[in-house]
A and B are shown apart, each in its own frame.
Chain A
Amino acid sequence: MGSFLIKSPLNIRNPNNHKTFMVNKPHKTKLSFVVPFTHSESTKIFEKKSDLEVWNSFNKGEEAAFNYIYRCYTPILFSVGMQITGNVDLVKDGIQNLFIDLRRKRGTLSEVVSIKSYLLKSLQRDLFRTMKKENSQSIQSIELPENAFLIEVSHETKVIQMESENEINTQLKQALNQLTPKQRQALILLYEEGMSYKEIAEVLEFNQVKTARKLVYRAIESLKQLLKN
């Protein structure tokens, strides 16, 4: 989570936030009611717990659990949202509505085994709904846009890149981007996010894990020749 820690703003995490706050404006210390835990505290409490435990604490109304969830998953939600629409405002609204809605339903939420896949699925649904509303003329607009989840083939962390390797990467990238957006999404979730087939099936709303496996198998099958060179 190294790079994630950096991106999240220092200020929220700083335990002294509250101290300064209380010294300066004693009559407003009640604000800590809304944000009772700083980010670093919530991380310490929750990072060893299972998704189910974290989710249950959130469902019980623990603000620390919400802080933890927000901190861990907002960056990936944002990044995936941008891969779907490329529209910052849409993504921002989507993430906000998602969390507002979840907070409102606390106490009645059903159990969640993988928070990440649950949130991704929900955001995706919301984005589809909004996109559908926006261009209601096209009937089948619930499908992923053609240019969603384009793939980049990065160089591995090697010091010297050989020419031939560059070329293979370019070919691979082209081949990957010929796949369907859904296949690309599955590969990104599998390889970049390290998700299991079960989690991928949840994000893509497949009833069976098998369907997710097949989607990936077919994608890799079509790249096979290229990969063997």
Chain B
Amino acid sequence: MKFKDYDIEHFLTDEFFIQWVKNPDENNQHFWEKWISEHPEKRQVVQKAASVIRSIQAEQNSGISDSMYVDMFENIIHANEWNRDQTYKADQSNPWFSIFSIRKIAATFVIGFCMWISYEGMIKGIKIESETLETMVVSKANPAGKKSILLLADGTKIHLNAASKISYPEVFDDNLRSVKLEGEAYFEVAKDGRPFIVSVGDNAINVLGTSFNVKENGDGLAVALVEGKVRVNDKRGNQVLLDPNEMLVIRKDGKFYKSGFDQMEIAGWKEMYLVFNKSSFEETTSKIEEWYGVEIEVKGKISKDWVYSGQYKGETLENVLRGISHTSGLKYELTGKKVKITKP
């Protein structure tokens, strides 16, 4: 059957077609682009087939955790003859021959050596590998109420917001710069040829020299691009490219959408702008709690359509509270790290 006689079920079972959708390269790309322009009436069915191929994936798509990845590697390297499952011995076709093979003897030496090394390490109370692992990673965490600016060795500048944590290797890999983020940070990534990757939970943001804001909280993740270009990959294998002034929101349930954003609202925090833009009461109070590191207690019922808009630069908590209560008719009481808001 010729491609021109293909219907959707034929495309969906054709290896050459699937390869083009999954791994487009120069050759198949060239062919299919030509073919579609020759057969414009097939464009729709081709698109549909490609869309089905791209959207099918395993439901149970669990990624392996770093700790398990390392743990298994260690176990494999350190495995020895004695604690191995008996079933493997039964698998061998000629046990006598292989027991005496040089390879096996050599392997026993290697394994014995490993055991000795790990034994040495344990006696001295040092877990060799995990220790070296830990010394290599730098971690910075801000409590609520504190922001900080970090300058990395490659020239990248990171504004780390309050109640957020970032970790990265003391020295970056030769071909990759990778950092891990919990919470919110604004990145000004220095160009140096190596890709810069921010991992947030199961999502990864790939960058080549650019400025953007990343915010992750219980509801999901938001990546807002100020300049340059970034690519976001989620755990399901979806990939989204962002242009400047676009924001990608990935909700907790995996759904995502793109939207525009107000630069002051999203990234103003690094210039000490505390911005409320039609913020709900919950948004407003949790923002204040994070920003000033205080606890807010609410007395009385606040109406559901309560919203607040306002902008403060480097203001004291007192002034912000005064501003908000002024326009919305609430009362506040500030004692130490506690704020009591009452609806009269």
Contact = CB atoms under 8 A, between A and B. Distances in A.
A99 B69 contact: no
Contact of B136 (A20, A44, A108): A20
B55 A169 contact: yes
Interface string A177-188: 000000000011
B171 A16 contact: yes
A227 B9 contact: yes
State which size class the interface on B falls in.
Answer: 35 or more
Contact of A153 (B13, B56, B77, B87): B56
B73 A12 contact: yes
Interface string A22-36: 000100101101110
A interface secondary structure, majority: helix
B64 A75 contact: yes
B136 A11 contact: yes
Interface stretch (A113-121, A134-142, A144-152): A144-152
A83 B170 CA distance: 36
A2 B233 contact: yes
Contacts of A127: none
Contacts of A10: 136-137, 168-169, 173, 178
Contacts of A25: 128
B120 interface: yes
Interface of B: 7-9, 12-13, 15, 18-19, 22-23, 48, 51-64, 66, 68-70, 72-73, 75-77, 79, 84-85, 87-88, 91, 98, 101, 103, 107, 110, 113-114, 117, 120-121, 128, 132-133, 135-137, 168-171, 173-176, 178, 195, 197, 199, 204, 206, 231, 233, 235-240, 254-255, 257-258
Q: What 7 A-B pairs come out closest when comparing CB atoms?
A: A194-B22, A150-B59, A78-B64, A152-B59, A11-B133, A100-B79, A9-B66
Interface of A: 2-3, 5-17, 20-21, 25, 28, 30-31, 33-35, 40, 44, 70, 74-75, 78-80, 82-83, 86, 88, 92, 95-97, 99-101, 103-104, 106-108, 129, 149-157, 159-160, 169, 172, 176, 187-188, 190-192, 194, 196-197, 213, 216-217, 220-221, 223-224, 227-228
